[in-house]
Amino acid sequence: MGDWWTPTMMPDPSLDTKELSSISGISMSPSRQNLHHSLHSTMALPKTSYSVLSAFCTEENISQCIAYINQEVCSLGLTGVSLESKSGSLSAVPVLNLLYEVLQLQRRAQRALHELETQQLKNGSDLEHLQHSNCRLKDQLEHTRRDNSGLHEGERQLQLKIKTLQNWLKSEKEEVQKLQSIISSRATQYNHDTKRKERECTKLKERLNQLLMDKRDKKLSIEISNHVGRSDGKRGLWKTGKMEARHEGEMYRALLSDYETRQRSLMMENSELKKVLQHMKKDMITILSPKKPCIKTEPANDSLEQAVSEGEEEIGDSSRETLEQSCEQAREQLTNSIRLQWRKLKSHMERLDSQASLVACQEREGEEMMSRKEHEEEMQRMRMELQQCKEFIHMQQQLLQQLSSPCDEETAALLNDCYTLEEKERLKEEWRLFNEQKRNFEQERKNFTEAAIRLGHERKAFEEDRAAWLKTQFLNMTPFVDRKRPALSEPHSALSVGTEPEAKLQSTPPLVTKSLFSTPKAASVKMPSTADLYRTLHLIPDSRGHGKCQSGEMSTKSRLRNCSTDCSVISLVRDENSPI
Amino acid sequence: MNFSEVFKQSNQLCKVSPDGKYLATCVQYRLVVRDFNSLQIVHLYTCLDPVMHMEWSSDSLFILCAMYKRGLVQVWSLEQPDWHCKIDEGSIGLVSSRWSPDGRHILNTTEFNLRVTVWSLCTKAVSYIKYPKACQKGVDFTADGRYMALAERRECKDYISVFVCDDWHLLRHFESETQDLAGLEWSPNCCVLAVWDNCLEYKILLYSLDGRLLSSYSAYEWSLGIKSVAWSPSSQFLAVGSYDEKVRILNHITWKKITEFEHPATIINTKAVVFKEVEKRPVVGSEDLSIHQLTVDNSLFSTQSKYEITQLPAQVPVIKPDPDRANPKIGISALAFSADNRFLATKNGSFQVQSLFWHCSGSSLVLLSKEHICLCYMEAEEEK
């Protein structure tokens, strides 16, 4: 019906059901107060509900309350009477029935609650029990698991034992077999020997029988035509005690000599070995001692010093040792000292090894970067070099190929042409130069010859003039016409005297006289030979070797025309010489 | 190789004289002595019976011919062909006969090894040695010919007697610690006597000349033991070859084993050089095999063989001997040291090598089998 009226106040939370509180919130009309009291007495409601009861139902909202209660009752599923309101009054019977049903309901609910509680208690205890048993079972499981592993272990060991026992059994079987085979072979050998002996025995018996039967006993004898001399040529000797002693003596002598040789060889071997040991010791000492600067750590130093000091002692000892070579003490000393040194060396080496490894580890970390960088740089450099070399090689290969194998005719011919062309060019160049020089040379030669010819002519003219002049002079000066001056003889060429340029003027008279004498030669007018020409021109060195000349005056042909003095001629000749 | 014409001989009796000048062969009851270089017959002697054993004396002046069946020994002289000597052992029989090292005494072993009779050609004197042992090698002379060791057996014990060969004076007589002495051998320096037990026990004993036991060596127990023994020419080593296919070398200072050599069926040692004989027989079709062909064409049967080096590991063919037989054909049966002490040649197993001998220079080795002869040249760097 209409509105579900929820009571605004819910004061007591201890009340179980909302309905109950809502029911208790029924505010009764005053007309029902006595009913309310009775109700209140039958129902054990807390006192606080009083105020609540009063809140639900009032005079005004009776019908709503009734409607509400009907609804609630329906919802609760009670078939109970629905409260009817007859004009504002409520019959008590349905209410009481309703109340009773509600009470029943309440009772049932309580019972159910009680049951539930007991059930819960039971469940709780069950749970506890189960938990306990769970724990127990877990423990048991753990325990059994441990037992299981233990048993497994035991089983494994037993398996192992079985295996070893099987192997042992196999080996034993093999050994048994081997022994059996040995026994069988020995047995065959014994049988064989026994048979042999038996055969011999029977033969003996037969022979014995035969001998007993046979009366004729053939004596053993020797027939010899004549005695033979002993092989060593000596006379036979009687057997006497002295002989026996001699034999004994010889035997012992033989034995002794053998022992002596053996001892000698052993002694030699011994001394050699001792020497080797000594050397080894010395080497070990030297190895241990002079490496002080190389060692880095402290303890090594100490040991070294120790070793050195002991080594020195040892070296002092060794000299003594060599004297007492055969003495046992010396021998022991030597071996002991060697052992000591060897142990020291070994420990030293071990220390060095560990040090080296440590140092290597340390250095590796510190220098890693550095070394790597350097390393990389080096690698780079090397790679570059390699590349270059490769390229170079490649190039060379190509060239070689080109050179060695003419790929095809044309290119080969072309190449050849190229080379020859180059050479031709060069040759041409050289020819050109050569021709030029030749031409120059020719030119000069021509000039030279012309000059020489001219010179010859002029000389001739000059000579004639001079001769004439001299003649006139002579005729004028001296009465002697035919006398020749002996001082002025031999191969003075006309020009040679005139090499002293200072004596230009002074030389003229002797020159004139010389030329006078040389005129008979010049009288026969013939062309001088080249050699003479050259000689006169001082192109070929004379025996006199006239080297002085006054060069410097580049005179021309016109100079020649000035034939007052020879020197100008000479200077001309010299100048002619110079460019050539 | 050039071969001379074939000469007849019997009983493999063909010996060169110790000085190398003569060759003596026996043909039934005749003794033929030839000059070695020209092979011309120098002397011809006739004995009373087919000769069973023939031996040159050490100075090459006499030859001994023994006829065991009749118990006779006849001695012939090369210098005086009409000189004769006949030794008759009488009813006691003869089993073996040999010269003494001085070439003037003959030792005859009677039948059943009852005694050894020493006959002297110088004095006609006779000496007897009782109860010599019949074993593999019961008598040995020293290299210088001064002493002789003889094994004896009395009352189930082994004894060794050392005689002075000059006058057959008994120098020493001592008991040997062997169970059943199989052989004895003097060392080349004449001071040590090696005595070994028979194959049922591996034991080798070393006695000094005066009879003291120097040392004893035993490699193992129970299996078959020593088969062959050899001294090195310098007396420094003693090689013992046994049935277990190993050679053990003892040194003369401590008489302990210094090394042992095995003879495995597969050779894997990289330092070893294996030569294998390869035979090339000319192949003949069966229809060609007529009598005419066989007689005319000798090359049919000439097989060329050469030796080529086989790759390692090389497998040596092994024939397993019959284990049920006594003295089985396994183990080291022959040992030979080269004269320069550098090499040791050993023969293992059932190879058909009858003998192996070194050349006196130590550079080559001769192997003789039933049908073949093989010469092995050693290079200076190689090991055996």
Structural domain contains residue B294: no
Backbone angles phi, psi at B120, to 5 degrees: -110, 135
- Which is more confident, A239 or B228? B228
pLDDT, tens only, B127-145: 888 889 888 889 999 999 8
- Which is more confident, B264 or A100? A100
Residues of chain A found within 8 Å of residue B179, distances taken between Cβ atoms = none
Which residue from A minimizes the CA distance to B81? A225
Q: What is the mean pLDDT of each run of 10 residues along chain A (580 residues)?
A: 48 47 49 49 50 70 80 77 62 81 90 96 97 97 97 97 97 93 87 88 85 73 77 69 86 90 91 88 80 46 49 50 62 83 86 89 70 84 93 92 72 74 89 92 91 90 90 77 46 43 45 45 51 61 45 42 46 46
Residue B220 near chain A (CB below 8 Å)? no
Structural domain contains residue B286: no
Rounded CA separation A397/A174 (Å): 75
Is B203 exposed, middle or buried, given 0-12, 13-18 or 19+ CB atoms closer than 10 A? buried
Domain identity same for B144 and B104:
no
Is A49 exposed, middle or buried, given 0-12, 13-18 or 19+ CB atoms closer than 10 A? buried
Nearest CB to A223 within list B85, B164, B171: B85
Q: What is the ipTM of this complex?
A: 0.75
Residues of chain B found within 8 Å of residue A226, distances taken between Cβ atoms = 83
Q: 277-336 in B: which are within 8 Å (CB) of A?
A: 323-328
Residues of chain B found within 8 Å of residue A222, distances taken between Cβ atoms = 85-88, 119, 124, 126
pLDDT of residue A290: 64
Are the C-beta atoms of B249 and B239 separated by less than 8 Å? yes
**Ranges of each domain in chain A:** 287-403, 455-577
pLDDT of residue A527: 57
- Pick the closest to residue B362 from B233, B261, B276 (CA basis): B233
Domain identity same for B115 and B143:
no
| CA separation, residue A544 to residues A185, A489, A504, A538, A540 (Å) | 129, 14, 20, 11, 11
* Interface-testing mutation among A220, A230, A264, with chain B (most B C-beta atoms within 10 A): A220
Structural domain contains residue B289: no
Boundary-marking domain end, from B115, B130, B145: B130
Nearest CB to B123 within list A191, A192, A236: A236
Residues of chain A found within 8 Å of residue B171, distances taken between Cβ atoms = 247-248, 251
Which residue from B minimizes the CA distance to A248? B171
Question: Residue A245: how many CA atoms within 13 Å on its side-chain side?
Answer: 3
**Residue A318 distance to chain B (closest CA, Å):** 29
Residue A496 per-residue DSSP state: T
Residue B19 near chain A (CB below 8 Å)? no
* Interface-testing mutation among B114, B141, B223, B237, with chain A (most A C-beta atoms within 10 A): B223
Domain identity same for B86 and B203:
no
Rounded CA separation A444/A117 (Å): 159
Domain identity same for B270 and B335:
yes
Residues of chain B found within 8 Å of residue A224, distances taken between Cβ atoms = 84-86, 121, 124
Residue B92 near chain A (CB below 8 Å)? yes
Domain count, chain B: 3
pLDDT of residue A562: 47
List for chain A the helix, strand, coil content (%; round to 5): 75, 0, 25
Structural domain contains residue B287: no
Token pair recorded at residue B266: 């597969």
Which residue from A minimizes the CA distance to B123? A227
List for chain B the helix, strand, coil content (%; round to 5): 5, 45, 50
Domain around B339: 266-281+301-383
Nearest CB to B122 within list A204, A228, A244: A228
CATH number, position B155: 2.130.10.10
Q: A217, B91: Cβ pair inside 8 Å? A: yes
Domain identity same for B175 and B245:
yes
| pTM > 0.90 | no
Contacting residues for B141 by C-beta, under 8 A, at least 6 apart: B100, B101, B147, B148, B149, B165, B186
**Residue B103 distance to chain A (closest CA, Å):** 7
Contacting residues for B232 by C-beta, under 8 A, at least 6 apart: B188, B238, B239, B337, B341, B344
Has residue B380 got a pLDDT over 60?
Answer: no
Domain identity same for B53 and B96:
yes
pLDDT of residue A120: 96
**Residue A330 distance to chain B (closest CA, Å):** 23
Q: B112, A189: Cβ pair inside 8 Å? A: no
Nearest CB to B167 within list A204, A218, A243: A243
Structural domain contains residue B295: no
pLDDT of residue A280: 86
Structural domain contains residue B1: no
pLDDT, tens only, B154-192: 888 899 999 998 888 889 999 999 989 999 999 999 899
Strands (E), B165-300: 169-175, 181-186, 192-197, 204-208, 213-217, 226-231, 237-242, 246-251, 257-262, 266-267, 274-280
Q: 45-74 in A: which are within 8 Å (CB) of B?
A: none
Nearest CB to A204 within list B112, B126, B209: B112
Q: A192, B327: Cβ pair inside 8 Å? A: yes
Domain identity same for B98 and B112:
yes
Boundary-marking domain end, from B99, B130, B161: B130
The DSSP result for A285-308, as a single string, is: HHHHSTTGGG--SHHHHHHHHHHH
**Residue A293 distance to chain B (closest CA, Å):** 47
pLDDT, tens only, B335-345: 888 887 777 77
Q: How confident is the model at residue B274 (pLDDT cuts 50, 70, 90)?
A: low
Q: A225, B167: Cβ pair inside 8 Å? A: no
Contacting residues for B221 by C-beta, under 8 A, at least 6 apart: B201, B202
Residue A226 per-residue DSSP state: S
Residue A262 near chain B (CB below 8 Å)? yes
Are the C-beta atoms of B340 and B306 separated by less than 8 Å? no
